[in-house]
Amino acid sequence: DQQVKQNSPSLSVQEGRISILNCDYTNSMFDYFLWYKKYPAEGPTFLISISSIKDKNEDGRFTVFLNKSAKHLSLHIVPSQPGDSAVYFCAASPNNAGNMLTFGGGTRLMVKP
Amino acid sequence: DSGVTQTPKHLITATGQRVTLRCSPRSGDLSVYWYQQSLDQGLQFLIQYYNGEERAKGNILERFSAQQFPDLHSELNLSSLELGDSALYFCASSVGSKTEAFFGQGTRLTVV
């Protein structure tokens, strides 16, 4: 049972445009959500996080939106740059288990120059 | 550079063998996590230690064990290795709960 799902395995966007990556979750115990970026043969790199008490968090070009009623979060990248091309993972942590992260399957973002 | 160091980077071993993967967390981080990334399972949480004590357990096989030492480094021991254990093993660390975890570069284990 996949508790965190990223339904789009890949996304292609033109440089300068907005990239929107989506993530759905099923476990209502999740209260902390994170996005990671991963290049091949490297570890995931933390991008941005959001607590369930918020519905939006912004850091530079990256904004994460959380819709608790829909159990959905999204990552917006504006403007997209070729260097953003990577695999993006969303992850969620339950409120009763420290920082144990459940990861989605990832979305490969390709930003075309 | 995340500040989390994992050794070795690559490991090739035979079925039935035992290996130890090592992780040094970022300076000041008390929590260490181990994750496995395989082609068919994605990134899966194995186990968490906080200041030397086991804090949470995920899908970790009985053949696998971990510990965190007083200097906060951690080791993941994998025994009776099978072909299916071939994967990338990541260590991550964080200051505490509900803070972002920073990942190391991973150890690629190949069981032949």
Whether residue B72 lies within 8 A of chain A, CB to CB, comes out as: no
* Residues in A touching B59 (Cβ below 8 Å): none
Six-digit token string for B89: 């093993």
Considering only residues B55 and A21, tell me which one the structure prediction assigns the higher pLDDT.
A21
Distance CA A48, CA A33 (A): 9
Calculate how close chain A gets to B18, using CA atoms only, in Å: 23
Dump strand ranges (E) for A1-113.
Answer: 4-5, 10-14, 19-25, 30-38, 45-51, 56-59, 62-67, 72-77, 86-94, 102-103, 107-112
SS3 A13: strand
pLDDT value at position B96? 76
Please tell me if residue B89 touches chain A, with a CB cutoff of 8 Å. no
DSSP 3-state of A83: helix
Q: Looking at chain B, list the stretches that DSSP marks H as alpha helix, in order from N- to C-terminal side.
A: none
- Residue A31 sits at the vertex; the CA angle it makes with B92 and B32, to the nearest 5 degrees, is 15
Note if the bond before B8 is cis, omega within 30 degrees. yes
* Angstrom distance (rounded) from CA B11 to CA B87: 10
Over residues A24-75, the pLDDT tens digits come to 999 998 999 999 999 988 899 999 999 999 999 999 999 999 999 999 999 9
B98/A32 Cβ within 8 A: yes
**Per-residue model confidence as pLDDT tens digits over B23-62:** 999 999 999 999 999 877 789 999 999 999 998 899 899 9
Nearest CA of chain A to the CA of B29: how many Å?
13
Quickly tell me which residue has 């490297």 as its tokens. Answer: A42
Q: Which helix H or strand E contains A109, and what residues bound it?
A: strand A107-112
* Mean pLDDT value across chain A: 93
Q: How far apart are CA B16 and CA B47, in angstroms?
A: 22
C-alpha span between B50 and A48 (Å, rounded): 23
